[in-house]
């Protein structure tokens, strides 16, 4: 837990919630704060399995997964490749396009501010590899676009401009290839930014989402497909929109979704009668090494 990304604080919350649940269930669990001495810490603690509770770079992006593969320590969630792909919104969308998964139109701007865009404002400007809405802005005109590009570039060299989708914001948790009920996200004001995500009471969550039964199934099917084409495993969460015209647009896949007791996946699990400790246990039991073959010692 913890780590050195911009989402460190959220990761500590996720990590402590998981640690408490594991200890309450009687597991011999230790909290390991990830820092530059992580290799030594992992070797010193002599752990059997790693429950990854990191968000963002150096944790959700395949780097820690790669380290655990090298050390032959089974870990929860997605492997190196799926983690790396899902962390990068541009790569994710390129794979979606290849597989015919609907995703909002987008462009990758060059160094110069684009003179013309192929779709009208508002424009959603995002760093390719962040989370928690960090560096994301919605620009309503050309002037705001310049500021939004500047802001996103402070977080990443790679950025994207997406078509704004007007409609319902939805998210679908997936566990072991099974979609959870859809969560509808309704921020009380503005959009679902960092504050709306983490300040209690600033966003309303509706489970199951207020959409027709056949649409719910369609949303769950596309979400599962998004998880599959990236090669995800264990628990992940797919973010998407249902436009007012009834079209589905998948925006991203989170391979390490928030896991505090009030986060979205635990909320959806609770709706299905799965308690937080039960959810933690299911994720733990799915832990594995994902890279096969090779020679040498097995731990
Ligand atoms: N294409 C879009 N249209 C409208 N709103 C969007 C769009 N993309 C993102 N948003 C808003 O920005 C938030 C963060 O964007 P997202 O792509 O999910 O990145 P993050 O990894 O930071 O969660 C979303 O929760 C949503 O409220
Ligand atoms: Mg998101």
Domains of the chain listed by start with CATH number: 8-81 (3.40.50.20), 85-103+165-283 (3.30.470.20), 106-163 (3.30.1490.20)
Residue 295: pLDDT over 70: no
Ligand 1, atom 26: nearest CA belongs to which residue? Answer: 192
Q: Calculate mean pLDDT across residues 191-218.
A: 95
- CA 28 remoteness from chain centre: 27
Q: What is the pLDDT of residue 297?
A: 56
pLDDT given for residue 16 in this prediction: 98
Give residue 39 CA to ligand 2 midpoint distance, Å. Answer: 30
> What is the pLDDT confidence band of residue 293, given thresholds at 50, 70 and 90?
confident
- State the ligand closest to the CA atom of 169: 1
How do residues 46-77 score in pLDDT, each as one tens digit? 999 999 999 999 999 999 999 999 999 999 99
pLDDT on residue 111? 86
Question: What proportion of the chain, given as a percentage, has pLDDT over 70?
Answer: 98
Q: How far is the CA of 22 from the centre of ligand 2 (A)?
A: 27
Mean pLDDT over all residues of the chain?
Answer: 95
> Relative to the CA of 162, which ligand 1 atom is closest?
1
Atom of ligand 1 nearest to the CA of 163: 1
Q: Residue 113 has what pLDDT? A: 87
Ligand 1 atom nearest to CA at 135: 22
Q: How far is the CA of 184 from the centre of ligand 2 (A)?
A: 13
Q: How far is the CA of 252 from the centre of ligand 1 (A)?
A: 8
Residues at CB less than 6 angstroms from ligand 1: 104, 124, 126, 130-133, 136, 162, 164-165, 169, 191-192, 239, 251-252
Residue 38's pLDDT band, with cuts at 50, 70 and 90, is very high
Q: How confident is the model at residue 168 (pLDDT cuts 50, 70, 90)?
A: very high
β-pairing, 183-187 vs 167-175, is antiparallel
Asked if residue 106 has pLDDT above 60, the reply is yes
Is residue 298 predicted with pLDDT exceeding 80?
no
- Catalytic sites, residue numbers: 7, 132, 198, 237, 239, 252, 254, 258
Mutate to test the pocket of ligand 1, among 10, 136, 238 (most ligand atoms within 8 A of CB): 136
Task: Pick the more confident residue, 176 or 232.
Answer: 232
Burial class (CB in 10 A: 0-12, 13-18, 19+), 177: exposed
Please give the distance, rounded to the nearest whole angstrom, from the Cα atom of residue 27 to the centre of ligand 2: 31
Q: What per-residue confidence (pLDDT) applies to 292?
A: 84
């Amino acid at each position: 837990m913890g780590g050195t990304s911009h989402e460190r604080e959220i990761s500590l919350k996720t990590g402590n919630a998981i640690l408490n649940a594991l200890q309450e269930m009687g597991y011999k669990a230790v909290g390991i704060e990830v820092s530059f001495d992580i290799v030594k810490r992992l070797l010193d603690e002599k752990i059997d399995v790693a429950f990854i509770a990191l968000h963002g770079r150096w944790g959700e992006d395949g780097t820690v997964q790669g380290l655990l593969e090298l050390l032959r320590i089974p870990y929860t969630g997605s492997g190196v490749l799926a983690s790396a792909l899902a962390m990068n919104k541009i790569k994710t969308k390129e794979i979606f396009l290849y597989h015919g998964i609907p995703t909002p139109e987008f462009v990758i701007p060059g160094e110069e501010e684009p003179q013309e865009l192929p779709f009208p404002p508002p424009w959603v400007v995002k760093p390719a590899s962040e989370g928690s809405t960090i560096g994301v802005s919605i620009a309503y005109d050309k002037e705001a676009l310049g500021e939004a590009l500047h802001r996103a570039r402070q977080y990443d060299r790679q950025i994207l401009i997406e078509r704004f989708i007007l409609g319902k914001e939805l998210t679908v948790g997936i566990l072991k290839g099974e979609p959870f009920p859809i969560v509808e996200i309704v921020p009380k004001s503005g959009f679902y930014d960092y504050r709306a995500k983490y300040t209690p009471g600033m966003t309303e969550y509706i489970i199951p989402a207020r959409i027709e039964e056949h649409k719910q199934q369609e949303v769950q099917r596309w979400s599962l497909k998004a998880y599959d084409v990236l090669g995800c495993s264990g628990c992940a969460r797919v973010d998407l929109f249902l436009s007012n015209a009834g079209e589905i647009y998948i925006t991203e896949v989170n391979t390490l979704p928030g896991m505090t007791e009030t986060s979205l996946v635990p909320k959806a699990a609770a709706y299905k009668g799965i308690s937080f400790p039960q959810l933690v246990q299911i994720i733990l039991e799915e832990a594995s090494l994902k890279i096969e073959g090779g020679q040498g010692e097995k731990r």
